[in-house]
Amino acid sequence: VQEVSGDDVARANTVSVIDALSGKAAGLQVTQASGAAGGSSRIVLRGQTSFDGNNEALIVVDGVRLDNSENNTERVLQGVAYSNRAMDINPNDIESVSVLKGAAATALYGVEGARGVIVITTKKGSQGKGLSVNYNVNYTMAEINKTLDLQDTYAQGVSGLYFGPETGMSLSWGPRIDTMAFDGATDYPYDPNGRLVGQSDPSAVAPARAYDNVDNFFQTGHTWSHNLAFSGGNDAGSYRVSFGRTDQLGVIPKNTYDRTNVGLSGAFDLFDDRFHINASINYARSGSRRVQQGSNTSGLTLGLYRTSPSFDNGNGLDDPVNDPASYTLPDGTQRNYRGGIGYDNPYWVVNNSPYFDEVNRTYGTLQLSWDFSPWATLSSTVGTDLYSDIRQQEFEIGSANAALGRVIDDEYFYRHLDAYLNLSGGGPLSSDFSLNYNLGANLYSQYLKNLFTDGNGLNFPGFRELANVNTISTTNTLDQQRTMALFASVDLGFRNFLYLTLTARNDWISTLIVPDQELQLGNIDVLYPSASMSFVFSELLDFEALSFGKLRLSYAQVGGGAPAAYLTGTTFIVPKTTQFIYSITDGWVNNGIDFPFRGVSGFTFNPRIGSNSLQPSLTTDYEAGLDLRFFNGRLGLDATYYHRKSEDQILVIPVDRTSGFQRAVVNSGSLSTQGGEVVLSLVPVRSKDFTWEITANFSKWRTFVDELAEGVNNQYLDGFTGTGIYNLGPETDEDGKVTKRFEYGQILGGAFQHANTADGVSFDPDLPYNPNGPLIIDDSGSPDPYASDYNPNYGYPLADPIARVIGNPNPDFLLGINNTLSYRNWSLSFLFDIKQGGQMWNGTQGALTFFGMTALTEDRDPLNADLLPDYENATHTFEGVLASDGSANDIRVPLDENWYLGNGGGFGSVDEHFVQETSYYRLRLVTLSYRLNNQWLANTPLSDLTLSLTGRNLLLFTPYEGVDPETSLVGSSSNGQGLEYFQMPGTRSYAIGLNVKF
């Protein structure tokens, strides 16, 4: 267990509490979806525990679970950067955060506890104190912290020839912009300066210039946060009422997020302080306007980055965001660099393809307890969480992703009930022994309904509502789950130095119920125990320098049900042409029929066949730790080693399509994780006026796939046709002995041929991939295009015919180092966040290299006079060996558009050269605060006034060439991390804050 104070959370000055935890606890990894306003963040503790299920840590607020879903109906490779529901928590209402990482610490939270638990305790009033008022305000400015380097030298076109917007040309392999000029035509709709012509053209009137579309588009973001709280109490109880308001304008024009929080909590002690009531209720309302991203022709960054530097997306206007002349032509059609086709102008996207959502959420707890005696306290805790999430995606007529217009309404209605009944107590058994116990029952019930309505074809422009569409199709989904449990724990202590804790829990899990079969409780239950022991050896030692020393050991098991409801049966679905694998078509083109069809309903089997024999999965965890503190706490060391194995995983696997299905649910597969953590605390200086405190959190883990289902060697997690994230089964020799295991979530894609044979100079596709071997260079045929044996790949690396593991997104280790220096009323803290290792597929760079837009293509070799590869003046030689005889390669080749339009770019058959290291060294957080002296406040109603300055992500050093490598295309909902493809960039921010108390 590791603690993060509420003050540390507030000082981070983030909209999301999850982002505030980055670098502040060992074993905790936070990944932001993007720097867009309202974007989600993924939080994982000690690696993965599930193939198909949720791997994010469970969030518990004031003793009960809180839903943290992202609820992504559409494919995560496109769409928008959604919020997950932890965004609804007001960071200023948090008193403390406990990070529970071991299964022994999380066993009592049930099947979800195996993922680790983030326990949040909110602020309460204080008994015996009068009214206290606290108000704080923060203003934040944000800017893009990292983008891909683009070329600004070459114009739109191909083969060194200019092709303007009216041609529909998508590439930027045209002539140098500094060799061109504007002709001054005032009737040219694509540029107020006129058409581009050669400088020697008689119509040339002014030199051409490159447009910086990226810098001209992004803006400075702004966030205002106001929080007001009233608290107090008397001898019988306490209360706290809080109000919060956050308004965020993103670095993307018209991307907004706002949130309103209201919280009420109270505690009362009655009947001579034997009966206790604790209650809290919170309301959160959030709304946002988001923009399209990712693999999406209406994606903002896709259209922005692909735009040639010879075309001005803003059309020379002072306010292109709000002036339709930047993105529409006089006839009302779209104005973009491809003459209205292909990819949307980014100003069109922010105005004509908005995504709106509104969340209304209420969650709270009620706890009643009666102290019969020190040995018996009966308590009941009931928590509820309910929200509606109403979303609308709009596409105006003329949008690249929906030429006829489209409106999508996506509505979620969620609620859960989390109820506990406990009998607990304890005390000394004798002068040597003590005992504490807890007996309890838990009921957890969850309900989620989704209504997805897709309207295609607007009848007339400008009115983007379902009432104005031609065809409507709907999908109504209901997901209900319930878990009932009994649990018990016993803590035994001996002479204040030896402690033993035993727990057991039995869950009955509804997701294991088989439809149409008589319910047998023995078929849906799972019993799992845990045991932990700690030995405080410092109690037995007389060593003055050692303040505290403890050795701890633990063993724990946590059961698990199916990762989703209704996997024990085969369901029916309504076929839709928009659902691809569910659709009814002719097998060649996607022009099938939707149901209901002409008033007739139609259903087909879900392509996933269920299993009526699913068994609970089981996660077993072993942990050992040492906690040392010296010199009265001036130096501390907490070291942990753990090993975790998750077996009998429930996963979905591909099956032979002759069965009539595409996928099947099975009990199979296992994951194992081993890792270590070190938390170091040090106070180098402590005096009357000055204190310097250092805390370092180091963590390292590796999660391996030990087994997949029989006959299955990989499991798709996320990605694209050529490049994706997969779990791969272990490699074995002829005797079935495992020779290699793969970490969770590898990047699988196209590779070049690398020498992998014993002689070190040849390639065998049947042998394992050797990325460190020399490239195999194609020297067959002739580079002469007029020769009978012409080979356009002559002198270039050969492509591997087999998809290979070309990258590993998982880090080698994480390290967070926080320093806090306090001098009288001044406080300065700064957090360094280090990630070593891990890789990401830079698909954005790959695609833009194909289009001739990256800085990688700026130093391009020109074609010869016949517009063919110029081998005579070529200067590049690939380091490798010749395929014919294994000798060192000495063939010079041009790196021209032909190379980049093939395997040198992102749309060829090879992806490995766009997989890049994502290590980083980051100055995560800097906070400077000053607390006004009390004598300055003596004659005012104020009891405290603090001013603060905060900087976040101020410095970032990384070899990664894309956006901030901490961002993720697939957001928080997917286990397939390690992909970049036109997602929104990350941000750095600067904030000023004021906190006053009355």
Record the tokens describing residue 464, joined without a space: 């983007």
How many other C-beta atoms can be found within 10 angstroms of the C-beta atom of residue 21? 22
Record the tokens describing residue 479, joined without a space: 């997901």
> Of the residues 707, 724, 747, which one is the last residue of a structural domain?
707
* Rounded Cα–Cα distance for residues 355 and 378 (Å): 49
Record the tokens describing residue 471, joined without a space: 């065809």
Whether residues 547 and 670 share a domain: the answer is yes
Record the tokens describing residue 767, joined without a space: 């042998």
- One-letter amino acid for residue 421 of the chain: L
Residue 242's alpha-carbon distances to 88, 228, 261, 422, 646, in angstroms, are: 14, 6, 8, 30, 42
Q: What is the 3-state secondary structure (H, E, C) of 717-764?
A: EEECCCCEEEEECCEECCCCCEEECEECCEEEECCECECCCCCCCCCC
31: which strand partners? 42
Q: Tell me if 194 is assigned to some domain.
A: no
Q: What angle do CA 126, 132, 133 make, to 5 degrees?
A: 130
Q: Within the chain, how many helices (H) and strands (E) appear?
A: 8, 51
Whether residues 399 and 285 share a domain: the answer is yes
R_g over Cα of the chain: 31
Q: What angle do CA 651, 656, 662 make, to 5 degrees?
A: 55
Q: Tell me if 546 is assigned to some domain.
A: yes
The domain spanning residue 411 has which CATH number?
A: 2.40.170.20
> Of the residues 677, 692, 707, which one is the last residue of a structural domain?
707
> Of the residues 707, 734, 768, which one is the last residue of a structural domain?
707
Q: Tell me if 919 is assigned to some domain.
A: no
Whether residues 555 and 585 share a domain: the answer is no
Whether residues 561 and 595 share a domain: the answer is no
Whether residues 403 and 455 share a domain: the answer is yes
Q: Is 537 exposed, middle or buried (0-12, 13-18, 19+ CB in 10 A)?
A: middle
Please, are residues 84 and 68 in contact by the beta-carbon 8 Å criterion?
A: yes
Whether residues 436 and 582 share a domain: the answer is no
Q: Tell me if 921 is assigned to some domain.
A: no
Residue 724's alpha-carbon distances to 749, 756, 973, in angstroms, are: 7, 23, 16
194: phi then psi, degrees, rounded to nearest 5: 105, -175
The DSSP symbol for 544 reads T
Question: Which pLDDT belongs to residue 64?
Answer: 85
CA dihedral sign of residues 809, 72, 406, 191 = negative
Provide the number of structural domains found in the chain: 2
Whether residues 587 and 669 share a domain: the answer is no
Whether residues 284 and 388 share a domain: the answer is yes
Residue 66's alpha-carbon distances to 10, 63, 131, 441, in angstroms, are: 20, 10, 30, 19
Record the tokens describing residue 172, joined without a space: 């930027």
SS3 658: helix
* 347 closest CA partner among 253, 255, 257: 253
Q: Tell me if 922 is assigned to some domain.
A: no
Question: Which residues contact residue 715 at a Cβ distance below 8 angstroms, ignoring those fewer than 6 apart?
Answer: 51, 651, 653, 708, 726, 727, 728
Please, are residues 243 and 228 in contact by the beta-carbon 8 Å criterion?
A: yes
Q: Which pairing describes strands 157-158 and 746-749: parallel, antiparallel, or unpaired?
A: unpaired
Please, are residues 922 and 956 in contact by the beta-carbon 8 Å criterion?
A: yes
Question: Which pLDDT belongs to residue 825?
Answer: 93
Whether residues 576 and 691 share a domain: the answer is no
Question: Which pLDDT belongs to residue 587?
Answer: 47
How much of the chain is in helix, strand and coil states, percent to nearest 5?
A: 10, 45, 45
How many other C-beta atoms can be found within 10 angstroms of the C-beta atom of residue 891? 18
Question: Which residues contact residue 940 at a Cβ distance below 8 angstroms, ignoring those fewer than 6 apart?
Answer: none
Whether residues 565 and 612 share a domain: the answer is yes
Please, are residues 886 and 759 in contact by the beta-carbon 8 Å criterion?
A: yes
pLDDT along the chain (998 residues), means of 10: 90 90 91 85 90 88 89 61 89 93 74 88 88 95 96 97 97 97 96 96 96 97 97 92 97 96 95 93 96 89 97 97 97 95 96 96 96 95 96 94 94 96 96 96 95 94 94 89 95 96 94 88 91 95 92 92 87 65 48 67 83 90 96 95 93 84 88 96 95 97 93 89 92 89 96 96 93 96 94 96 96 96 96 96 97 95 87 93 96 95 95 97 96 83 92 96 91 85 94 94
Residue 953's alpha-carbon distances to 351, 633, 820, 924, in angstroms, are: 30, 31, 17, 5
In the numeric block, the tokens 């060992």 are attached to 26
Asked if the bond preceding 330 is cis, omega within 30° of 0, the reply is no
705: which strand partners? 671, 742
Record the tokens describing residue 943, joined without a space: 């009891």
Q: Tell me if 928 is assigned to some domain.
A: no
* Rounded Cα–Cα distance for residues 570 and 665 (Å): 10
Please, are residues 33 and 16 in contact by the beta-carbon 8 Å criterion?
A: no
In the chain, the largest separation of any two C-alpha atoms, in whole Å, equals 105
Question: Which pLDDT belongs to residue 600?
Answer: 78
Question: Which residues contact residue 697 at a Cβ distance below 8 angstroms, ignoring those fewer than 6 apart?
Answer: 2, 23, 24, 25, 26, 677, 678, 679, 814, 815, 816, 817
By residue range, what is the domain housing residue 389? 2-137+220-295+347-571+606-707
Record the tokens describing residue 946, joined without a space: 């603090």
Q: Tell me if 242 is assigned to some domain.
A: yes
In the numeric block, the tokens 């008033």 are attached to 599
Please, are residues 654 and 600 in contact by the beta-carbon 8 Å criterion?
A: no
Whether residues 505 and 642 share a domain: the answer is yes
Whether residues 601 and 646 share a domain: the answer is no
Q: Tell me if 599 is assigned to some domain.
A: yes
Q: Is 937 exposed, middle or buried (0-12, 13-18, 19+ CB in 10 A)?
A: middle
* Rounded Cα–Cα distance for residues 925 and 951 (Å): 6
CA 895 to chain centre: 36
* Rounded Cα–Cα distance for residues 485 and 83 (Å): 31
* Rounded Cα–Cα distance for residues 824 and 668 (Å): 60
